Structure 1
Amino acid sequence: MNIENLKEKLNYYGSLKEPFLFIISYDLSNFYVKPLKDLPPQIEFAIDSQTTKSKREEELKKYPIPFAEYKKSFDILQEQIREGNSYLLNLTAKTKIETKLTLDEIYKNAKAKYKLKYFDEFVCFSPEIFIEIKENKIYTYPMKGTIDSSIKNAKKKILENEKEMAEHTMVVDLLRNDLGIVAKNIRVEEFRYLDKINAGKKELLQVSSKISGKLESTWSERVGDILVSLLPAGSVTGTPKRKTVEILKEVETYNRGFYTGVFGVFDGKSLNSAVMIRFIEKENEELYYKSGGGITCDSNAKLEYEELLDKIYLPF
């Protein structure tokens, strides 16, 4: 079974304290785990990198799915919410894009906290941490809620918006429960703080929280069990997680693949990882950008569609 193979491989390198890179797809059916010393040059990554905005600008053409098609999926999710099958669902879509840049050039120019280029297949420049483990403590930083920082009183509007508050609270509650599966002494250390995200020509404000838990000192020997127990990430699925994943599989019109999976590095002592959002994939020599956002009972279809498009950018 793929998941058992994944756990076994991760636990093996963790037990050896061997530094390694891991890349895991959204549904855990595909993964890549490799010691850093054996990593091929076609895979590049950066963790906790500088996010200073560069002066480079590059035109990006978008060919999104029609609003009517998005609305059809949105309405199905609203019906699922009304029936009590889910309270929050992260609806995503793939958008064909055109740029003169190659994936390699996009990777090299992108300014993001977490970056990954996987052969000539995809590039990811994520602002969202999945989990960090250091000094026997595990941390996660759910990110839910975005607004254009140029909007008047943007900070006040996003923090006082009831829909955004409800959505973020549900994700925090979900991830508290997730961490409780693998750790003890779960605490919400910071609730709803703001980060600035460079989104090409725009600057976005993104709402995050910080949650922590305590692990045993032998955690690296079961790093595979920890990661698999927490996947897929709550911020890119919804709540309750299992039922929401089933609904999204029926509603979304494409395969997410590695998008909304995770990647990270174990350096022999600590672990740092990211959720693979802000994601461009090559398919039959064409480029597709995968993006999405959380849907609750208070969501507005038009605004959610606009958010999906706002998240399609090159962070230069």
Structure 2
Amino acid sequence: MLNINHQKFKELDQLSQQKVPFFFIIDFLMENVLIFNQKDLSEKKILVDFPHFKNMEKQNFIPKEILWKALPQSKEEYKKGFDIVQEHLKRGDSYLVNFTCETPVETNLSLEEIFYHSKAKYKVLIPNQLTFFSPETFVEILDQKIYTHPMKGTIDAAKENAKELLKNDVKEKAEHYTVVDLLRNDLSMIADEVHLDEFQRIDFLKTRNKNLYAMSSEISGNVKPEFQGKVGSLLQKILPAGSILGAPKPKTLEIILESEKHQRGFYTGIAGYFDGKNLDSCVMIRYIENKNSLYLKEKPNWVFKSGGGITHLSRLEDEYQEMKNKIYVPIH
């Protein structure tokens, strides 16, 4: 099913074995793997703002009123894909499916303004094409120790006792347990002594319209000798990222391709930076794309891609609302 770009993953191996620093972006289906050195980033005007790597200057706040309007599909339209997912869940084909949608947005912000003024752990801008502001780490490698931080489960922070509700919600707990188990299994393919360091941590995500709480955990292990210094082989083994796919992976991917109307492209893929020794990477969520990027003279056609995990306990109204809740820019 997957048409993996094996040559590019080999190139990632070669560069990491040579201890050459590079930045990379891999799409959801592992077909497009973009690799950049510092000069490439500069020439293409690609901007990166990661915890340990930045190539942009700080900008002042936007001196204008921000216009932001999302035009989500109707609940009836959303239900068509949701029902396909639920049918597969009832058959036992999957335990968890991350179902996503594409939503047109209208804004007076440019991609550059969104990139510079959004507040997030990981941000990237490819001019005229896309930007994202992700709170979710995929994997980190520090001195051959690997960490992953699955994020699954959100709630409106304005709700009374929101943190407790999120931690104890039966559906959200089941979803989080499934992703943690999946990521622990994934990490076990490339690491030894894998264990859960932190479970159900609650993070606060501030936005202009609606603040959210998100649930995360941390899993770690020691990179197996055969994967040490081989960033490409290691990533190929554990992609696509479990937190934005579901479980079991192969069948769930089939369900996603059947139920989703849009092409994910780079959305829910990963981006990362290798400094010559250590690796930091993120899942590309909270993502805005210009569908007219190939036509420079055309007016930008902005779409925001968002979604959430669906289980057999999911309610249509709740999942539809969660998909809409995630259509935001963290400018405040």
Q: TM-score, normalised by structure 1?
A: 0.95
How far the C-alpha of 1:6 sits from its partner, in A, is 1.9
Structure 2 distance, partners of 1:180, 1:251, is 30
Pick the aligned partner of 2:131 from 123, 128, 133. 123
SS of 1:178 mapped into structure 2: helix
Deviations 1:153-198 (A, max 9, x none): 0011101111111000000000001001111111011110111112
Query: How do 1:24-173 and structure 2 match up within 5 A?
Result: 24-39=26-41, 40-48=43-51, 58-173=66-181
Residue 185 of structure 1: aligned partner: 193
Deviation at 1:200, TM superposition (A): 2.5
| Secondary structure class of the residue paired with 2:219 | strand
Q: Give SS of 1:92's match.
A: strand
Q: CA deviation at 1:98?
A: 0.5
Alpha-carbon offset, residue 221 of structure 1: 2.8
The reply to whether residue 7 of structure 1 matches residue 15 of structure 2 is no
**For each residue in 1:91-134, what CA deviation from the matched residue of structure 2 results, as whole angstroms up to 9, or x when unmatched?**
00000000011111111111110000113100010000010000
CA contact (8 A) 2:67 2:109 kept: no
Query: Retained in 1: the 8 A contact 2:100–2:305?
Result: yes
2:205 corresponds to which of 185, 197, 200: 197
SS at match of 2:109: coil
Report the count of equivalent residues: 314
Residues 132 and 140 of structure 1 are in contact (CA less than 8 Å); yes or no, is this contact kept in structure 2?
Answer: yes
- Look up the SS of the partner of 1:151 in the other structure: coil
Q: What is the CA–CA distance in structure 1 between the aligned matches of 2:228 and 2:211, rounded to whole Å?
A: 37
Q: Distance in 2 between matches of 1:109 and 1:141?
A: 25
1:11–1:220 contact (8 Å) kept in structure 2: no
Q: Which residue number in structure 1 is paired with residue 318 of structure 2?
A: 303
Structure 2 spans left out of the alignment, 5+ residues: 53-57, 293-299
Q: Look up the match of 2:218.
A: 210
Partner residue, 1:289: 304
Aligned-residue Cα RMSD (Å) equals 1.8
For 1:57 and 1:153, the matched residues in 2 are separated by: 32
Which residue is 1:261 aligned to?
269
Stretch deviating more after TM superposition (41-50 or 167-176): 41-50
Give me the whole-angstrom Cα distance separating, in 2, the residues matched to 1:55 and 1:209.
37
Q: Aligned-pair distance for 1:224?
A: 0.4
Report sequence identity in percent: 45
Secondary structure of 2:31 counterpart:
coil
CA contact (8 A) 1:42 1:120 kept: no
Whole-Å Cα distance in 2 between the matches of residues 57 and 135 of structure 1?
46
